[in-house]
Amino acid sequence: MSKYPSGGATPASIVDCLRSVAVNSPRERASFAKGRCVRGAYIPSDEAKEITKSRSFTGPSRVLARFSIDESPAVGEGDKLMLLGFSFRLGDEHHLSNVVAQSAPVHFARTLDQMLTLLKTRVPGPHGKPDMEAIKAFSAANPETLNQANYVAAHPVPMSFAGTTYWGVHAFRATNSGGETRFIKFKVTPVGGDIRLTEHEAKARSGDFLHDDLKDRIAVGDVRFSVMTLLDRPGDPTLDVTIRWPDEDRREAVRLGTIVITGLEPNEACDATLFDPASLAEGIDHPPDEIFAARSAAYAISLARRR
């Protein structure tokens, strides 16, 4: 029996539709195509072992990471709905973990079938534009698919990759050395705080301002992020990635460690590999939601097609 839903959606069909929406070249990623590869180090906190026994998060290691921008119209239109990504790899060859995070705390679809249908409404027609009436009708019938775009639209445009908070939208099972297991969410926060632009400032910037800013910051010093975990409470939703946990911004969080970005890497170093979110060292288990179940296969398909 397939682990994917019966409505026709598969990881391959999602990748195909993402490419049709974004009109990316075959050698580009299906989403978050425009990125910058970096390197650095991870320094664990003393509290990390209270949350997980994963040696990726409890021990120091090198870091390979990629900042990126999702410029496709899959979840909205215009610069104000720009979504940023931050993917990073921790640990050694025996205890690797990949975390894929973005600048909004929710995903744009609850199920794979819903995601495929939404993307199909966004595919440009013969005149190069999607059918806006079909988009409006779908959104009205599936209001949760607007949660991500509404969140991004409600916040000023990020000024810097280095000054943006990133979320892992899934609920992961974390087990500590005492055998205690609970759900967590990853939240990666810039040590210097979020940096935002006014709408007027955003319009005055070049299309590559985020990449230029990152290069300039690394040239004069390192860039630091705190890897935080939000801790679950009874009744928190773990299957629906389009909604947040209640009172999420004010609940308890524990710092697992600090990522220190120290230099740029050739983009080929990230393009040649796969930030597979299903690659998690023992102590962090896969989330139970349907979207996460398809991510690993979709990423592998996208990488194979780029090659």
227-239 exposure pattern, b = at least 16 Cβ within 10 A, e = fewer: bbbbbbeeebebe
pLDDT at position 256 is 98
Alpha carbons 47 and 40: distance in angstroms, whole number: 21
Band (175; pLDDT cuts 50, 70, 90): very high
The DSSP symbol for 206 reads -
More confident residue, 186 or 17: 186
H or E element that contains 154: none
pLDDT digits (tens, 9 = 90+) for 188-210: 999 989 987 766 676 666 668 89
Q: In angstroms, what CA-CA distances link 304 with 32, 152, 159?
A: 16, 31, 33
d(CA 105, CA 70): 15
Residue 237 CB-half CA count within 13 A: 14
What is the pLDDT, as a whole number, of residue 1? 34
Q: What is the pLDDT of residue 129?
A: 87
Residue 264 has what pLDDT? 97
The pLDDT value given to residue 25: 60
Residue position matching structure tokens 């004010």 = 250
Collapse the DSSP code of 150 into the 3-class scheme (helix H, G, I; strand E, B; otherwise coil) and give the result.
helix
Each residue's pLDDT tens digit, 62-75? 999 999 998 655 54
On the question of pLDDT at 5 being above 60, the answer is no
- Which domains are present in the chain? 11-306 (2.40.180.10)
For residue 18, what is the enclosing H or E element?
helix 11-22
